[in-house]
Structure 1
């Protein structure tokens, strides 16, 4: 099975985190942490800065690794490095997602997460 390596930004602001709903593809409308594929020659942190600039027109600072999620979708294996991130410059503009929300600890289960992303929620809850 093919492995796809991606990165995800858990953007935190006070006691809330930023989540987006996919605007395209098989999982359209399901919620995820913004990010994307790591390209050849990039570190995960460089990929995350680039992806957030492309998806949200925002500059972020990448912090600590929260976890690496390993998840088997039907047609591929996903390896997702998830980092705490802070906005450094710009406002979060949705260039690819169909919707976004700032979620408090109590609201984290109010959205329908992608299967791999929901595995991160418990770890995040301990830090909000």
Structure 2
């Protein structure tokens, strides 16, 4: 399985009469690989230069969405020996509405993942964070897209984690980590998160 960045989209070298699903185009990737797909799929998935797609081992491919997630951990009572808490948010839109997730968002063109997570948390939660360390990258296939999420352990520098774009939020401990209905992709990193609490 591979994540591929699209650097060019060109017309296929033949007419649409050769395909039942209409005209085809060729996606050209950063590493020089190519993939022929229907122009209809490109339009439906909003595929553009600079975007990513995920090609599975079985040859199937999905639009890839590159995002970042903040594993925001703080001391419950502020002291070094106090219980650690994790901040989680509840999604308020789309097919995954009401699922719980690590706050974060999409990486914008020209941003590093670390820059993206700092920006996203400032925009969504009015809080300045510090990226402490990279934890892992989640690769997960949802029915309509592939999620590639770089996850970072973060600490609060300034702010109170004010909800601006989510339905709800919770502060969870190691014991309450499984008390919310996590989104399927986020579930895959919970064992690593548990070790950080």
Using structure 1 for the length normalisation, give the TM-score: 0.97
Separation of aligned partners in 1, 2:124 and 2:65: 19
Separation of aligned partners in 1, 2:103 and 2:191: 18
Please give the residue correspondences for 1:89-104 in structure 2 after superposition, counting only pairs within 5 Å.
89-104=158-173
| Counterpart position of 1:57 | 126
Structure 2 residue 196 is the aligned partner of structure 1 residue 127: yes
| Counterpart position of 2:148 | 79
Using structure 2 for the length normalisation, give the TM-score: 0.64
2:172 aligned counterpart, secondary structure: strand
| Counterpart position of 1:8 | 69
Long gaps (5+) in structure 2: 1-61, 76-83
Long gaps (5+) in structure 1: none
Separation of aligned partners in 1, 2:117 and 2:195: 23
Whose radius of gyration is greater, 1 or 2? 2
Runs of 4+ in 1 over 3 A off after TM superposition: none
1:123 aligned counterpart, secondary structure: helix
1:92 aligned counterpart, secondary structure: coil
Aligned length: 128
Q: Which has the higher contact order (CA 8 A, sep 6+)?
A: 1
Q: CA RMSD in A?
A: 0.7
| Counterpart position of 2:184 | 115
